[in-house]
């Protein structure tokens, strides 16, 4: 009982009055998104582990920055945590011109708990079955290959820009209002390419409606063991994925941050939890506060030239 009380106090920010407290996982996106689902799995397990309710609250808006700013301005007591992504923390500062907070300074990394690998899907009408053939085609016919995205400044958009940047080609970006609409036009052949999560591409690949040219992660994916990475096919610099983690207000005590990271690590080691994550197309992983902070800084620097090359800006 003593250990449970101490854990609850540190994890959930138990006040000095001794009154029980709830914690919030604030998801800055709409319900049903991949990061929302993963957050709910984790929150339910933390609730069981601590004996206290861990709520998941959706606060979408401004590409996720509405919710992120709310967390940044919250009391640094461990009670309000942001479910963060690289699009929000590492890309957003380069993309949005009028942010009223700094994701890298006003939020502190707590733990990264999942990675969502990406791949490049092509319409079967595209006469290319590998990254090499795609680039040869793009070089021979500049501005003739169109790649879809889920919106300006999105990870799928910037994935295409990284290919342009590092391969020295010029493919044309076509933004959509969401991934589903973009995939529909790839399947129909209206556009030729879409860089998205493997989980979103896999059903189309299995039915023969999309051809996967390569995976953008450092290593091959267990979901696509026979598909080589971009790097294996001779193109470096296009290491793209989408991670999910927890951030807290910048002044949150280190002891609270470390305890949250440790408890999340224990939960992510449970085989059932890992299977639940894998069923969502996510790779379970645990990266603690210091390594997470270093990775975010490095990723922010890597995305900066892609955002600049894209010319994308958002208010």
**pLDDT at residue number 290:** 97
Percentage of the chain exceeding pLDDT 70? 93
Alpha-carbon gap, residue 135 to 259, rounded angstroms: 47
* Domain final position from 175, 202, 233: 233
Are 247 and 112 part of one and the same domain? yes
**pLDDT at residue number 21:** 66
Alpha-carbon gap, residue 174 to 171, rounded angstroms: 10
Going by C-alpha positions, the residue among 277, 291, 293, 292 that lies closest to residue 42 is: 277
Alpha-carbon gap, residue 38 to 181, rounded angstroms: 23
User: Domain with 84 in it: what CATH number?
Assistant: 3.40.190.150
* Domain final position from 233, 266, 283: 233
Query: Within a domain: residue 294?
Result: yes
Q: Is the pLDDT of residue 162 over 60?
A: yes
Percentage of the chain exceeding pLDDT 90? 75
Range of the domain at 64: 2-116+241-310
Are 301 and 202 part of one and the same domain? no
**pLDDT at residue number 91:** 93
Alpha-carbon gap, residue 247 to 212, rounded angstroms: 33
Q: Which pLDDT band, with edges at 50, 70 and 90, does 1 fall under?
A: very low
Q: Is the pLDDT of residue 63 over 90?
A: no
**pLDDT at residue number 274:** 95
Going by C-alpha positions, the residue among 227, 34, 232, 244 that lies closest to residue 120 is: 227
CB 82 within 8 A of CB 245: no
Are 122 and 226 part of one and the same domain? yes
Q: What is the dihedral of CA 46, 49, 50, 54, to 10 degrees?
A: 20
**pLDDT at residue number 313:** 86
Query: Within a domain: residue 212?
Result: yes
**pLDDT at residue number 312:** 85
CB 59 within 8 A of CB 26: yes
């Amino acid at each position: 009982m003593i250990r449970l009380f101490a854990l609850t106090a540190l994890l959930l920010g138990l006040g000095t009055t001794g009154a029980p407290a709830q914690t919030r996982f604030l998801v800055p996106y709409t319900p049903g998104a991949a990061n929302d689902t993963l957050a709910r799995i984790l929150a339910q397990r933390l609730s069981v582990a601590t004996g206290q309710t861990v709520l998941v609250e959706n606060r979408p808006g401004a590409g996720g920055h509405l919710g992120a700013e709310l967390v940044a301005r919250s009391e640094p007591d461990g009670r309000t945590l942001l479910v963060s992504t690289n699009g929000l923390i590492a890309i957003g500062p380069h993309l949005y011109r009028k942010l009223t907070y700094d994701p890298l300074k006003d939020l502190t990394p707590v733990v990264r708990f999942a990675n969502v690998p990406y791949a490049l899907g092509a319409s079967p009408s595209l006469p290319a079955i590998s990254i090499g053939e795609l680039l040869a085609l793009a070089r021979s016919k500049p501005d003739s290959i169109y790649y879809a995205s889920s919106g300006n400044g999105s990870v799928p958009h910037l994935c295409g820009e990284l290919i342009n940047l590092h391969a020295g080609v010029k493919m044309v970006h076509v933004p959509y209002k969401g991934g589903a609409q973009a995939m529909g036009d790839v399947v129909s052949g209206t556009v030729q390419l879409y860089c998205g999560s493997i989980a979103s591409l896999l059903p189309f690949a299995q039915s023969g409606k999309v051809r996967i040219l390569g995976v953008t992660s450092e290593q091959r994916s267990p979901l696509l063991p026979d598909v080589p990475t971009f790097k294996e096919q001779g193109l470096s610099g296009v290491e793209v994925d989408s991670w999910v983690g927890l951030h807290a207000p910048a002044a949150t005590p280190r002891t609270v941050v470390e305890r949250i990271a440790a408890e999340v690590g224990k939960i992510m080691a449970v085989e059932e939890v890992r299977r639940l994550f894998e069923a969502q197309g996510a790779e379970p992983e645990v990266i603690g506060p210091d390594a997470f902070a270093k990775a975010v800084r490095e990723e922010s620097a890597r995305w900066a030239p892609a955002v600049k090359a894209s010319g994308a800006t958002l208010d």
